[in-house]
Structure 1
Amino acid sequence: MIYPLAGLLIGAALGALGARRREGTRFDLLQWAAVGAILGGLIGLFLLILIQRNLA
Structure 2
Amino acid sequence: MIIIAAIVIGALLGWRRATALGGNRKDRLQYAAAFALAFSALGLFVTIIIDRMV
TM-score tier (shorter): over 0.9
TM, length-normalised to structure 2: 0.97
AA aligned to 1:19 is A
- Give runs of ≥4 in structure 1 deviating > 2 Å: none
How far 1:17 sits from its partner (Å)?
0.2
Structure 2 gaps, min length 5:
none
Number of aligned pairs? 54
How far is the alpha carbon of 1:26 from its aligned partner?
Answer: 0.4
Runs of 5+ consecutive residues of structure 1 not aligned to the other structure: none
Q: Give the share of equivalent positions with the same residue, in percent.
A: 39
* Cα distance in 2, alignment partners of residues 34 and 49 from structure 1: 23
1:43 aligned partner: 42
Please name the residue that 1:33 is paired with.
32
Q: Which amino acid counterpart does residue 36 of structure 1 have in structure 2? A: F
Residue identity in the other structure for 2:16: L
Instruction: Verify: 1:17 aligned to 2:40, yes or no.
Output: no
* Residue 24 of structure 1, CA deviation: 0.1
1:8 aligns with 2:21: no
Give the drift of 1:19: 0.1
2:52 is matched with which residue?
53
Aligned alpha-carbon RMSD (Å):
0.4
